[in-house]
Amino acid sequence: MIAEVTGHRIYTVDEYFELEKTSEVKHEFVDGILIEMPGESKKANEVRGNIYVALRMGVKGKPFKVYNHDVKLRTVPGRKYRYPDIMVVPAEDNDDTHVVNRAVVTVEVTSENSSGVDHDEKLHEYIGMPSVECYLIVSQAEPLVEVYQRTGMKWEYAYYTDTNDSFLINALAITLRVADVYEGVF
């Protein structure tokens, strides 16, 4: 049975997975609704690429894998699947070939259109996952890296705007420099 809610068709998770196999456009899945993922700007692509390279180099020799925005993250079992711009995952999270279940670090490169979702819905989903230890929200419009990091039972927030700044991702025991995040962009 197909349900409709305020003009949106409601899909099952199985229907979603089947559609994503052949779709030319990626979709996030939120409570049965498919949310089309727009293409990214050149700046966002460069920032994301810089972070991806820095994280790949940082976890070299450690039991982690780094994935870009083409791999799904199950944030709420059976209800929500997202495409983070980047995620760092324990190497043993290999239950599925297309879906990650236990990200340790998630990264969103935010735009004017995605900022609200990145700072609200995705923030709550990512920090609500027991495996996530760090969530980075990175602006493509200006040097601004927001770091949400789990410390014991609480979350701490810090932000960095100076390209001379650097910050530690505790869960990975690596330090990223803001200058490396924005290399060639600003």
**Are the beta carbons of 29 and 15 closer than 8 angstroms?**
no
**Are the beta carbons of 125 and 82 closer than 8 angstroms?**
yes
Residue 2: the pLDDT is 43
186/171 Cα distance (integer angstroms): 28
Helix (H) or strand (E) holding 3: strand 3-5
Token reading at 124:
């709550």
Which pLDDT band, with edges at 50, 70 and 90, does 95 fall under?
Answer: confident
Closest by CA position to 126, among listed 94, 91, 83 = 83
- Is pLDDT above 70 for 5? no
Which pLDDT band, with edges at 50, 70 and 90, does 1 fall under?
Answer: very low
169/178 Cα distance (integer angstroms): 13
The pLDDT tens digits of the residues spanning 110-165 come to 998 899 999 999 999 999 999 999 999 999 999 999 999 999 999 999 999 999 99
Highest mean pLDDT out of 17-21, 33-37, 157-161 = 157-161
**Average pLDDT score over the chain:** 93
Residue 186: the pLDDT is 87
For residues 34 and 97, the model is more confident at 34
8/103 Cα distance (integer angstroms): 29
Which pLDDT band, with edges at 50, 70 and 90, does 6 fall under?
Answer: low
For 14, counting Cβ atoms within 10 Å of its Cβ (0-12 exposed, 13-18 middle, 19+ buried), the class is exposed
Closest by CA position to 64, among listed 52, 47, 82, 50 = 52
